[in-house]
């Protein structure tokens, strides 16, 4: 069901013309826009990073491994799902993997920055894309699954986003989240990425329960590589004046392959039921009660 962004009337029809107030959301650079005033600027991210991400995501071990973990979570925890929404889809790298590996899903992708949607549009063949503020999702019980992958940390009002995700998820459906973990891992990489926080597992669980969700799986990932990550972050602190924000994205060649294989082993252990207590990131799956 749709919610009119103007008068908040609830309605069920194919188009977005509100039958109560007559409002129709505008199109911005070819995409339906629910928050056009935020499409070019926001405190939570630097949109100038999209070209670099679009170039590096498909090659980088971390993005590739995270995609495989997300696809596993969808298959395992939501085998009957038919509809999927990604919040903060960026350049569309995750949705591209979902289109390829889960072709039965009807996918939608939202992004607050119209610049990100430009790149996503190039990657995706059948996903519906729109510009949206995650704090004001204009749907009620519309999607079987909603995903937010390294997005919540960019939004100061993360509890509001979780409530909105609960509202927009169908009863019996749920959400999948990935977030950066452990405040003690905070570094210039987080500052550069405009993060508001790195999460503590129990804090996120409390927020999810407050929003109405039932948490069914929590595991850290990038756990086996945590010592290397910690060394990298400490090295960043020692070279603060010469910090290169792209250095962790530009790992190439044999090292990139080795790190990807290590995370393949880690994912295999997660699929067997092992939940890692610590790691650079956190995966959470929760159902709508």
pLDDT tens digits for range 117-143: 999 999 999 999 999 999 999 999 999
**CA 78, CA 19: separation in Å to the nearest integer?**
34
Q: Which residues of 224-250 are buried (b: 16+ CB within 10 A; e: fewer)?
A: ebbeebeebbeebeeeeeeeeeeeebe
Q: Which residues of 86-102 are buried (b: 16+ CB within 10 A; e: fewer)?
A: bbbbbbbbbbbbbbeee
Confidence check: pLDDT of 12 > 70: yes
Sign of CA dihedral 39, 181, 209, 213: positive
The model's confidence at residue 87, banded by pLDDT at 50, 70 and 90, is very high
Question: How far from the centroid of its chain's Cα atoms is residue 109's Cα?
Answer: 10
Residue 72: CB atoms within 10 A of its CB come to 16
Residue spans of the domains in the chain: they are 30-288
The model's confidence at residue 189, banded by pLDDT at 50, 70 and 90, is confident
Q: Which of 55-59, 167-171, 228-232 has the highest mean pLDDT?
A: 167-171
CB 222 within 8 A of CB 280: yes
Question: Each residue of 136-182: pLDDT tens digit?
Answer: 999 999 999 999 999 999 999 999 999 999 999 999 999 999 999 99
CB 83 within 8 A of CB 105: yes
Would you call 179 helix, strand, or coil by DSSP?
strand
Question: Each residue of 92-110: pLDDT tens digit?
Answer: 999 999 999 999 999 999 9
Question: Each residue of 18-35: pLDDT tens digit?
Answer: 999 999 999 999 999 999
User: What distances in angstroms separate CA 211 from CA 7, 112, 147, 241, one per listed residue?
Assistant: 24, 22, 15, 41
Q: Which residue is it, tokens 């995501």? A: 57
Stretch 226-241: mean pLDDT: 79
CATH architecture of 30-288: 3-Layer(aba) Sandwich (3.40)
User: What distances in angstroms separate CA 57 from CA 52, 153, 223, 226, 253, one per listed residue?
Assistant: 8, 19, 20, 20, 15
Confidence check: pLDDT of 59 > 90: yes
Q: Residue 267 is inside which H or E element, if any?
A: helix 253-271
């Amino acid at each position: 069901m749709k919610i009119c962004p103007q008068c908040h009337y609830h309605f069920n029809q194919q188009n977005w013309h509100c039958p109560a107030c007559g409002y129709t959301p505008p199109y911005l650079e070819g995409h339906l826009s629910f928050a056009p005033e935020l499409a070019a600027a926001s405190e939570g991210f630097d949109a100038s990073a999209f070209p670099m991400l679009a170039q590096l995501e498909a090659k980088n071990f971390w993005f590739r491994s995270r995609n495989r973990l997300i696809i596993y979570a969808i298959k395992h925890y939501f085998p009957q799902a038919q509809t999927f929404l990604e919040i903060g889809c960026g350049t569309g790298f995750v949705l591209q993997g979902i289109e390829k590996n889960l072709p039965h899903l009807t996918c939608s992708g939202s992004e607050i920055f119209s610049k990100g949607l430009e790149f996503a549009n190039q990657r995706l063949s059948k996903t519906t894309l729109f510009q949206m503020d995650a704090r004001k999702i204009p749907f009620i019980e519309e999607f079987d699954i909603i995903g937010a992958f390294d997005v919540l940390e960019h939004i100061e009002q993360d509890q509001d986003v979780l409530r909105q995700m609960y509202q927009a998820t169908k009863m019996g459906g749920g959400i999948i989240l990935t977030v950066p973990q452990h405040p003690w891992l905070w570094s210039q990489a987080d500052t550069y990425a405009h993060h508001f926080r790195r999460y503590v597992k129990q804090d996120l669980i409390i927020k999810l329960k407050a929003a109405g969700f039932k948490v069914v799986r929590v595991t850290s990932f990038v756990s086996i590589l945590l010592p290397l990550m910690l060394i990298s972050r400490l090295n960043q602190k020692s070279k603060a004046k010469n910090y290169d924000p792209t250095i962790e994205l530009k790992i190439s060649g044999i090292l990139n392959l080795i790190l990807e294989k290590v995370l393949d082993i880690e994912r295999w252990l997660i699929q067997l039921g092992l939940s890692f207590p610590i790691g650079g990131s956190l995966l959470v799956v929760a159902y709508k009660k």
